[in-house]
Amino acid sequence: MKQLYPNTYKESDTGTNGYDYSKGHKRFINFKEINAFIKHIQNSKDLRKIAALLGREEKNGNKKIEYSSIDQSIKTHNHKEEMSGVTLGRDLANLLPQELAMLKDENLELLFNLKYIQNRLFCFEKQGYETMQKEHYKMAKNEGAMIICVDTSSSMSGNREYLAKAITLFLATKASMQNRACYLINYSTNIETMELSSKDNAINLINFLVMSFNGGTDVAPALKEGLKKMQEDSFKQSDLIVISDGYFDDISQNLQQQMQDQGHKGNRFYLLDIEGYGDKKTFFDTHWVYDTNTQEATILYTMR
């Protein structure tokens, strides 16, 4: 198999199939590197569509997501009018002082960027009319929990991991804002987990995401942990997504059967393959390959 990023794989502990199962050593990456990729998500319509898909209830698999963007005239205030209240948005000219203060704290700068992307910054409201672009997703209304498995193996080192962590942070923040259950699994050949709750602040989330293993890749423990979590009441309607480069071996038939059985209960399993170069993984409901240059996600495989 062609190695697109040389010198990123360890030579030890490889199986007969060439996949690396070596144990890595826990390390920590600079969260500023993750922060640099947050705006990449904002610029990718496909990544936002995938984010909208997670946790959505789909009956009989017939529900589809349709994305549209229209210009809409909405009531707002112009600069000549008096301020009448506070609203959520991303009007930088009318931000509340406490929102601007986050930019002075490097620990909170990432949170500012996330709130900006999701139109969740507190802004002064002024009355009038202006044209704004609105994004619309047509989908099932019920929102469920999400389980996010992020690959931190050596083959992900660098921009792949930074983008994967930025996507994870975006999804986790979205879940928190919508009061949806969210479970994070950081994996290589080992796993670390975190259940996100309303009590967790941005610093705890960032501390979890900067952790990396830098070893071989074994997705099976992460999937097993996700399946176990789905048995809990708050995660019975959850969807699971693996964010990886796709460079991992097939899983056992037994584990595949467990995923299929869980799928009959309405759960979905997705793989977002960043700059992938592995084979299609047919044990996921949908396998996307994401191109960071075009910022487009292509479906490599889907059950539907």
Q: What is the DSSP string of 159-225?
A: HHHHHHHHHHHHHHHHHHHTT--EEEEEESSSEEEEEE-TT--HHHHHHHHTEE--S----HHHHHH
Helix (H/G/I), strand (E/B), else coil: 133: strand
Strands 296-302 and 286-291: antiparallel
CATH number of 27-64+142-302: 3.40.50.410
Rounded percentage of the chain residues whose pLDDT exceeds 90: 36
In this prediction the pTM is 0.71
Confidence of residue 138 (pLDDT cuts 50, 70, 90): very low
Which pLDDT score, from 0 to 100, does residue 94 have? 87
pLDDT digits (tens, 9 = 90+) for 101-124: 888 887 677 778 778 777 788 888
Rounded percentage of the chain residues whose pLDDT exceeds 70: 74
266 pLDDT above the threshold of 60: yes
15 pLDDT above the threshold of 70: no
The residues spanned by each domain of the chain are: 27-64+142-302, 66-138
Average pLDDT over residues 4-17: 36
Nearest-CA neighbor of 211 among 180, 190, 225, 240?
A: 190
